[in-house]
Amino acid sequence: MSQQEHQAAEAFIEKIEAQLDQMVEDADADTLFISGYLRGHIMLTAGYLEMENQLNIQDLITKTNDSLEQAIAGGELDENDQLLVKNMWQQLQTL
């Protein structure tokens, strides 16, 4: 993996964090929960990729998707929260 890919991934993560921070300023309880939940999955995934020296945008997206799917399959979220998480994650991926 190149240094450029790593730096691009770090910039992507910073954009995601900034967007999540902005969302919670005037957020309702659902948005606060969903943003915190997503932040946890994203940052945990980024940490694992960083430790493996594999941090890049595509792997971050793929592995975060995998993490979310495992959590949903494990019953962590009800149907409404699943929809909110998936929608917010889709929005964040476009940053």
pLDDT mean over 80-84: 95
39-48, pLDDT tens digit by residue? Answer: 999 999 999 9
Q: Please, are residues 57 and 45 in contact by the beta-carbon 8 Å criterion? A: no
What is the reported pLDDT for 25? 84
23-80, pLDDT tens digit by residue? Answer: 888 889 999 999 999 999 999 999 999 999 999 999 999 999 999 999 999 999 999 9
- Residue in the block written with tokens 């149907």: 79
pLDDT bin (cut points 50, 70, 90) of residue 11 is: very high
Q: Taking the complete model, does pTM exceed 0.85, yes or no?
A: yes
Distance CA 79, CA 17 (A): 25
CA distances from 34 to 11, 49, 53 (A): 22, 22, 28
For the chain, list the strands marked E by DSSP: none
Maximum separation of any 2 CA atoms in the chain, in Å: 40
